[in-house]
Amino acid sequence: MNQEAIQAIAKTVRCLTMDAIQKANSGHPGMPMGCAELGALLYGSILSYNPEDPHWLNRDRFVLSAGHGSMFLYSLLHLAGFAISLDDIKNFRQLGSPCAGHPEYGAAPGIETTTGPLGQGFATAVGMAIAETMLSARYNTREYPIFNYYTYVLAGDGCLQEGVASEAASLAGHLKLKKLIAFYDSNRITIDGSTELSFTEDVAARFAAYGWNVFHASMYDTDDIEHHIEIAKKESDKPTLIILKSIIGKGAPTLQGSHKTHGAPLGAEEIRKAKEAMGINPEEQFYRDPDALEYFNNYKAKLQSVYASWQEKFKAWQEQNPALARELTLAMEGKPVQVPLWPSFKADESLATRTASGKALLSALEAWPNLVGGSADLTGPNVVEIPGEPYSTEHRIGKKIHFGIREFGMAAIANGIALSKVFRPYCATFLVFSDYLRPALRLSALMKIPVIYVLTHDSVHLGEDGPTHQPVEHLTSLRAIPNLLVLRPADAEETVSAWEIALNRNEGPTALILSRQNLPVLTKADPDWKETIKTGAYIVKNTPDEPEITILASGSEVSLALDAVKHTQKQVRVVSVLSLETFISQPEPIKTAILGKTAKLIACEAGHPMSWYALTKTVMGIQRFGESGPGNKVAEHLGISVQNLVQLIETM
């Protein structure tokens, strides 16, 4: 790529960045200005993409992990012909604009993932690279290698200080993800000042120890950068980190190199001087270099040629591989390839919902062959063991991923896999350790992507491991996340329904909250409970007449409630609440039909009671940390018992 074009594009990125942030009176000019030449090289020469088909399956992925530098991405997407207009850029950071403060997946074409929380974009890119290896192994044929895209990620000093990036980088090196290329914008500046304040490690040595190729270059020597990219593609069986020494805010005459350019507008006078130094009329707002516009206008023909050639190969592949083509199409639609054959359970059977979940998972894998995932080193306790050789460098077709003890990295990687739009990932750990992965789970919900979180050992009933491992506040905390569907089944049959609901949900993540202890298979009063449960709750035990009291419970406390009503003469209905937030959102007639017209309500759950207050203030729950001891004794000690529930019923 010629230097004249690179400089024209870089100049445009700097001008659009300065003006958009100044107009918004908010934003981060330093990173986009410091990395403008890299962006020009990537979108003007390296990346394979099609603005007219931004979801093209074999496009290269670019992730801006340093999401605060969002004007870098918006400027380049605009120039490259994606559906981001100049007016959109002029409305940067304004309500309703696709050019949000940080890139948001789905807000505009070309944004591959939501970024902003530092480090997560890096880890999500690792998931995208894993997805490419799976796609290649599963669908490529000798004649038609239809999947061979690269994943590129731009990370800054802040990203590489975050633990999630370290978790993901370690796993990426172990898995030899050779089509992952990361650029480290090493401007040596953070919000507080120089990285010398807190970040003096040898990043190159760290990544080399992870098993990465590591190269060094200047951010402004694009020929050298391109040379290292070519080496990474041709000679490597490892992921690659290219460390680029840069100048934050490059082009700002008096502020470049200063932390003052990181997160604030440059100011009108600084922008005026910057434009004058670039030979631009300082009065011209949102300047776009004509040479940059012309370059991308001409470059589209090359991109379209690559795209058209791929489409021909893809069509021929579909014709020669109809079974694989059908599987791929159904996977992208989120549909099973066959009607699932779910496990059944005997009426007198007693088993943990985590065990029932394991059986349901095996059935799901037959119907959804693109269901992939694993555990953060808790495969056995989470009961997510599946047959077959696991995913590895030698076996990319494997469905079971060993994430290692990396909960946060696991969830962020799962997001990247889900963003392939082909694979449906699940990831598993103990419920209490959902705190370790929560920021990535939050992004799953924000992006509306269908990651399934299998969270076992769901209450103080796990027992002897004590309060560090006993969740108390976690259910309430997870229910507070918008667009996260939280399901806590009461028995094995409900667990199967929970998996079915999760697998048919394509607009957001689902958390399956599962017990360690055995629970009886319930006799259900509602003959249509499998349909009713989709409202979030159904009647397990009814009364001959209108109930005086209705007990609302979830998970293991449903069977406790059924035991309690045996010890009272009152007319008590028991309702199993699989999803509290789903039930609360139902129209009043549906809720009344399940709760009763005049019944007093009691809620019962071995966790913090706060989330139940939307329905009733009478809750038997836990508002303190647990203790070490046998699970049933700990629960009783904390007030979760048949006796206490009976007393509560009698006082109503």
Of 419, 471, 420, the residue nearest 443 (C-alpha):
419
According to DSSP, the β-strands at 189-190 and 193-194 are antiparallel
CA atoms within 13 A on the CB side of 585: 11
Residue 235 pLDDT grade (very low, low, confident, very high; cuts 50, 70, 90): confident
What is the mean pLDDT of the segment spanning 630-634? Answer: 98
Assess whether the region 350-520 and the region 529-651 belong to the same CATH fold: yes
What is the mean pLDDT of the segment spanning 283-293? Answer: 98
Is pLDDT above 90 for 40?
yes
What pTM did the predictor assign? 0.98
Structure-token pair, residue 608: 């913090």
- Give the per-residue SS3 of 127-180: HHHHHHHHHHHHHCCCCCCCCCCCEEEEEEHHHHHCHHHHHHHHHHHHHCCCCE
* Fold of the domain spanning 529-651: Rossmann fold (3.40.50)
Say what percent of the chain tops pLDDT 90: 99
What pLDDT is recorded for position 281?
97
* 11 DSSP 8-state letter: H
Cα distance from N-terminal residue to C-terminal residue, the chain:
78
The residue written with tokens 């434009």 in the block is 275
Catalytic residue among 407, 494, 557, 581: 407
What is the mean pLDDT of the segment spanning 308-319? Answer: 99
536-571 per-position pLDDT tens digit:
999 999 999 999 999 999 999 999 999 999 999 999
**Residue 84 one-letter amino acid:** I
- Angstrom CA distances, 37 to 1, 252, 270, stand at 11, 15, 21
H or E element: which one contains 190? strand 189-190
List, in sequence order, the alpha helices (H) in 321-404: 322-333, 353-367, 379-382
Is pLDDT above 90 for 262?
yes
Residue 140 pLDDT grade (very low, low, confident, very high; cuts 50, 70, 90): very high
Asked if 546 is an active-site residue, the reply is: no
Is pLDDT above 90 for 118?
yes
Is pLDDT above 90 for 171?
yes
Give the CATH number of domain 3-303; options: 3.40.50.970, 3.90.1560.10, 3.40.120.10, 3.40.50.620. 3.40.50.970
The Cα–Cα gap between 33 and 56 comes to 29
What is the mean pLDDT of the segment spanning 52-72? Answer: 99
Please report, for the chain, the start and end positions of each structural domain, with discontinuous segments joined by +: 3-303, 304-329, 350-520, 529-651
467 contacts: CB under 8 Å, gap ≥ 6? 625, 626, 627, 628
Residue 190 pLDDT grade (very low, low, confident, very high; cuts 50, 70, 90): confident
Is pLDDT above 90 for 313?
yes
What pLDDT is recorded for position 189?
85
Is pLDDT above 90 for 584?
yes
597 contacts: CB under 8 Å, gap ≥ 6? 546
96 contacts: CB under 8 Å, gap ≥ 6? none
Residue 236 pLDDT grade (very low, low, confident, very high; cuts 50, 70, 90): confident
Is pLDDT above 90 for 492?
yes
The Cα–Cα gap between 21 and 93 comes to 8
Residue 267 Rama label (left phi>0; alpha psi -120 to 50; beta): left
- For 350-520, give the CATH class: alpha beta
Say what percent of the chain tops pLDDT 70: 100
Is pLDDT above 90 for 643?
yes
364-420 per-position pLDDT tens digit:
999 999 999 999 999 999 999 999 999 999 999 999 999 999 999 999 999 999 999
The Cα–Cα gap between 230 and 643 comes to 71
Strands (E), 411-559: 424-430, 452-456, 485-487, 510-513, 518-520, 537-541, 549-553
The Cα–Cα gap between 243 and 228 comes to 11
Strands (E), 285-423: 350-352, 371-375, 400-402
What pLDDT is recorded for position 549?
99
What is the mean pLDDT of the segment spanning 6-10? Answer: 99
Is pLDDT above 90 for 348?
no
